[in-house]
A and B are shown apart, each in its own frame.
Chain A
Amino acid sequence: MAEPMRIRAALQGDVADVRILMRHPMETGQRKDAKGDIVPTHFIQNVVVTHNGRTVLDAQWSQAVSRDPFLGLRVKGAKAGDTIVVTWTDNKGDKRTDEATVAAAS
């Protein structure tokens, strides 16, 4: 089972600065294990971010994204208390959804 994401969304004016840290091996299919066998590809292919239920970012990734991926985006017109939901899907069909609340500017 995939581990939870860490999501931070902080307001800067009317823009929410969203930072997401996912936990995923992101295997390229080029790496060999200790026995010399190729480790099969295993990577996140799709990430969908919604703001109050509306899709703001729909990302498609290859195995070139680093292990434990970081994703940063900015959402205009956000307010404190808004809901950010992030869902990723990998090439094995695993999924993980987490949500966060937009925090007021500090």
Chain B
Amino acid sequence: MSKILMGDIACALAAVDAGLKFYAGYPITPSSEIAEALSELLPKHKGIYLQMEDEIGSIMAAIGASYAGYPSMTATSGPGFSLMQEAIGYAAMAEIPVTIIDVMRAGPATGLATQIGEGDLMQAIWGTHGDHPVLVFSPGNVREFYIYTQKALFWAEKLRVPAVVLADEVIGHMKENVELPEPIKIPERRIPDVKPEQYLPYAAVDGDVVPLPPLGSGYLWHMTGSAHGEDGFPTIRPDRVKALLDRLISKTVKHHNELVEYEAYMLDDAEVLVVSFASMGRVSKGVVKELRDRGVKVGLLTPLTMWPFFAPELRAVVDKLNPKKIVVPEINYGQLRILVEWALRGTSVPVIGVNLVNGDLIPPEMIEEAILHG
């Protein structure tokens, strides 16, 4: 049965349906509806909603609860997401699953508090200091907001990494009729295969990090954001530091094929390729459809996983189609375009940005103009 849902509410429902047990957050437009919904829903599912004093406290409380065995997330928008950056690095280093929903608004600073922006892409991927693993998903409609909230929670737990869902104000606040799919459940923690005295919290098994043990089960391990050995105790030994960071970075690389999702639309014989994400992905789809109806050979790629980036997949499409140009519409000054150019380094296909930040969606005419005459 299809129902009308606001994007933020779909996100909250997705989290509860997946098995979320803990949410901590700080009110901020346009994500506050997620907090409001979870403050009502979580206690009914033996979960916990906590409003913290700021976004740093929020994500750290989520990390604490996650450590204690409660699948956790927080939600925010650009200004709060900026405050969370150090903690995202901590979650990556300490390898504690946590999911961050960022409903993007136009920045910088307070920007346009109630209106759309898509300028948090770089900050989602590279916002914290130091190289680190992070997963970034980006939905383009209410249904996808539901799906990718659950995928973020799932993969965060599975790989012990921070996962970000980059929605935007239009997706967060828009009401659409949606059919919700079967939920994806967050994997449960289990007692490790080894005895407590042999347990190494940061050892690799088949290249992946060992699972987290439940709290109170006799496993007395140490967790730190400092560089550490397999036992979790701080170290500055170069070989151990290298082994740790190599393994951390390899997490997203190793699971690239499972993690990377994108939608390909009308690619056959396309002479112009459009690449776009979040709300602008769906807007671009409309433009491509309209132009195809008029006989224009144009196709669309919409990444749903922003990190790891679908560089090899994009490259393969471009090598096959050899398009005349690539058009990248986005509500920022070219953050996705930089990733596209990086993916296509060494080729001669021109990449044209369609960029506008004024609080609204980019009008289809601007995209059409770039496709036809850009």
Q: Do A and B come from one complex?
A: no
A: residues with CB less than 8 A from B are: none
B: residues with CB less than 8 A from A are: none
